Chain A
């Protein structure tokens, strides 16, 4: 089974973020970066499937040269080889445009399974995987927490809302977006780290973007403004006030 795992490099979760001078994005100069959390679980799931069923795990990352550390890390944990789509500026890429570039980069691989995290920790669109499935002509399942690839068909367990789950059977090949926290991610052993040095990392240029494709431009980035506001409910009528309060707690504060 050939599995392609899409992994993105994002700013470190613990980093203190500052907005850059032009207020177009965060200041990246002093930032440290890490693997997008759910992508790490996608990799772990791929490695487990490979251990069970054999095959190959190929990592694909789109990003600047610094994103190589994500690739190296995945190779050290056990991925077999990697494709690096070298692209400096991901910021003004819509999920569609990004998925399009990724689709061209991996189409020739003819994978049995494509895995990605359910969303990126920076943009959080949660769309790239789904659009990519469409572009590759593959069925997909999102927010997957368990994968059974032992049969002819793929069985996956999806997380629904309010503590509900769904077992779902789908044909192979397919694309799955993986939920965070579903397993214990393995360490990169020192042996794995040294072995990764010899593994192939293929650099590819991004396919030309379709000029007709929707594009986006980030015009301003700013921190959410904290404000304090006082509202008087019920206009002197305690009963009406209580009803309004309950409604606000439900719909605005969402405490129940």
Chain B
């Protein structure tokens, strides 16, 4: 046997933008193993039987119940799914972690509690903790015995995390650090035992620490929030709080790496949770629409409602395709014996994809919640029905784990950074594209018989649009690109829709290959509708961005190229949406 390497062949992060993929190359939910399926079942059952019935109590801030539920989740293995066995976890793949996350999304409040416990509150210790800290804390966190929280944000430093004011100084005998400062919006703050805290050593070295609850560490009252009311969110006050040097995370002054890398993971987990929440929302909406009669018919029989149910289902399915494609990428770049460091590198590799998932899924989720309220009509506005809470709960997803604005700007930013450092061959691709823009080749009109060939062509062209806009922006603003927020946001939108389209098309093609075109027809419908609308959005964003960056002949040339790239024959999306809706209406639940 050859020596086992930590990492296998890696598909470069961001390379989706410059390379074509075959359906067989991507991971989809249809590739789940029997074990994956059962992990999903266990999580779903736990959420539906133990957690959801207790939401009213959680909303009364009964954190003893949160703790009890965390213990139960720990017993089932839900907290430590991806934690190595030597630290009390199960050492499962990222896809398994994603599946757990997805089903946790069935209760937004408890998902938030678990997100801190199993994600941002646990992973910094796993990835950056000393061996002593890992051995001491991880098994008890995985079992739910200890509750964790992640304390990065301060009143004056949110998106600008590095502007934190909290301080840490080494004690004179060099055995421990003393921390002072105030943190804000700390999930699990009201009852956590162990905190991952960021503070500046010597006033400027941003550093991560593990800190236990003790005298001097107090939390404020629970915030009155718009949603996720069944999760604890408090301020945290550190007043001469001590923590031993073994509880240092990583190196002094390298806290920013921890903060940002952990957020990458937090982002795809958040995306997965949104995905699970959406499935529940679609199911509840379709059940309501089937039961509610107006004008002598169930409202699900009306086109206006069908349109909504279809769009909610499509966004859920496309979002799911993106999540598991990315988790599959991470897993396939790792061997079973990969060290935590290798895992972290693998996840960092796909930082752009993680941000894409965060933005896309949180917005699909917000859309779905909004339409759920609309389907419920007057009852949607009543707190006695589930739509009202779903709507409020969904709103935070666009804010935490990095606002969607920050995440959008990170996407082109991270891709450019990778391009400049040579990790991603973006620049040659952009150059080649510019030649094509200036001297267009004759368009071929070969009718491809392959299902979704036209859509795939559009997705590939959307990549060209992304490259064209990003390339133009890079050329025009050079090192000042980061200041051009509106441009970056527009380019990010194009990239997000590109990744979404391609992930959905590839998944549908894979389904055609495994099930045949007739059985996969419902998926083809969804992909056709989504692509149709996504290309519209891509075109609009590109036009706005290009018009802001160039003028005259240059603009005319670019717009002509854009028109070629997005040229399409509109398909009958009304009929396709009706068919998509019919599937969930017949099944009386989300059934894709």
List chain A positions with a Cβ less than 8 A from chain B.
14, 16, 30, 68-69, 72-73, 76, 187-191, 193-194, 196-197
Contact = CB atoms under 8 A, between A and B. Distances in A.
B341 interface: no
Contacts of A196: 35, 38
Contacts of B45: 187
5 contacts: A30-B591, A72-B34, A73-B38, A187-B46, A188-B38
Given A187-B45, A188-B41, A194 B92 contact: yes
Nearest to B35: A193
B588 A190 contact: no
Nearest to B90: A190
A231 to B, nearest CB: 29
Interface string B26-56: 0000000011011101100110000000000
Nearest to B50: A187
Contact of B77 (A14, A73, A189): A189
Contact of B35 (A14, A30, A189, A197): A197
Contacts of A190: 39, 42, 76-78, 81, 90, 92, 96
B25 interface: no
Contact of A193 (B42, B46, B587, B588): B42
Contacts of B81: 190
Given A16-B588, A72-B34, A194-B35, A189 B76 contact: yes
Interface string B488-504: 00000000000000000
B75 interface: yes
Contacts of A69: 34, 37
B586 interface: yes
How extensive is the interface on chain B, given as a class?
A: 20 to 34
Contact of A191 (B41, B46, B77, B589): B77
A38 to B, nearest CB: 18
A194 B38 CA distance: 10
Given A190-B96, A193-B38, A194-B92, 12 more contacts: A16-B588, A76-B38, A187-B45, A187-B76, A188-B42, A189-B76, A190-B39, A190-B42, A190-B77, A191-B77, A191-B90, A193-B42
A190 B588 CA distance: 29
B532 to A, nearest CB: 26
Contacts of B587: 16, 30
A16 B588 CA distance: 8
Contacts of B41: 73, 188
Contacts of B588: 14, 16
A215 B129 CA distance: 67
Contact of B42 (A30, A72, A187, A197): A187
Contacts of A193: 35, 38-39, 42
A221 to B, nearest CB: 19
Contacts of B38: 72-73, 76, 188, 193, 196
Interface in B318-336: none
A89 B586 CA distance: 26
B79 to A, nearest CB: 10
A191 B588 CA distance: 33
Contacts of A14: 588-589
Nearest to A76: B38
A14 B41 CA distance: 15
Q: Report which residue of B38, B75, B78, B92 has the largest number of chain A beta carbons within 10 angstroms of its beta carbon.
A: B38
Contacts of B75: 189
A219 B90 CA distance: 50
Nearest to A197: B35
B34 to A, nearest CB: 5
Contacts of A189: 42, 75-77
Q: Report which residue of A14, A72, A187 has the largest number of chain B beta carbons within 10 angstroms of its beta carbon.
A: A187
For the complex of A and B, the 5 pairs showing the least CB-CB separation, nearest first, are A190-B77, A193-B38, A189-B76, A188-B42, A189-B77
A30 B591 CA distance: 9
Nearest to B72: A187
A191 B78 CA distance: 10
Interface in B63-112: 75-78, 81, 90, 92, 96
Nearest to A72: B34
A58 to B, nearest CB: 20
A187 B49 CA distance: 11
A194 B91 CA distance: 10
Nearest to A190: B77
Interface in B371-416: none
B474 to A, nearest CB: 45
A165 B479 CA distance: 83
A44 to B, nearest CB: 14
